[in-house]
Amino acid sequence: MNYSQRFTSAQPKRSHRAPDLSRLRQHMCNELVRRGITQKNVLYAMSTVPRHLFVQDALRSQAYEDAPLPIGYGQTISQPYTVARMSELLEVEKGMRVLEIGTGSGYQTAILAQMGCHIISIERLQELFRKTQTLLHQLGFRGIHLQRGDGTLGCPQAAPFDRIIVTAGGPKIPEPLLDQLDPENGILLMPVGSKQRIQEFIKIRKVHGVTRQEACGSTTFVNLIGSYGWRFP
């Protein structure tokens, strides 16, 4: 059974007025290529993971527009270009161990899983954690382990990680995450900014114990809350 067949039972029933979601997803991928996304594994994942199942039912017709959408609990699902760009900047390869901070809707998690990664993903909000855990289980994803807690503390018992991705913006990169990054060939990606919701992608690369930092453009994410992030609930 191929990947798309696994989601047959999860697809909403279409009426004659329902949008062609497969066509919209393909259009989304064409736009990603036009905007410079080139990695084949990223484009494959974006073309096969059904983003409309990760948004609220009332917003499914908008799922493949290049815009963030609310998912409840004061959180959003990132726009497709942002998800694709972060996945590309992360430079993942099949079989890599990835720590994700901020599970959210689970869409970025699903993209990385479809790229062949083994993922530990940490979500702070109990209700969102339960909802996303149920969805990812229903969709049959493998290699994903979800945890609830303070993501800024990471998951030291499972470190080191080949890749660490933070899907919320904080004032600085949490020290525990830097400590848990593989020292030989690790990459950490996070939106960082001194002002809330105004950030720049910072890419940290560790090679043989030497750390290098690269700025990869401006962005806007919800706030990273935790012991090493913003300190409000």
Active-site residue identified among 4, 9, 47, 78: 78
210-219 and 198-207 beta bridge pairing: antiparallel
Rounded distance between C-alpha atoms, residue 88 and residue 39, angstroms: 7
Q: Which residues pair with 199 in a beta bridge?
A: 219
Residue 75, number of CB atoms within 10 A of its CB:
19
Rounded distance between C-alpha atoms, residue 11 and residue 15, angstroms: 12
78 classed as catalytic = yes
Residues with a catalytic annotation lie at: 78
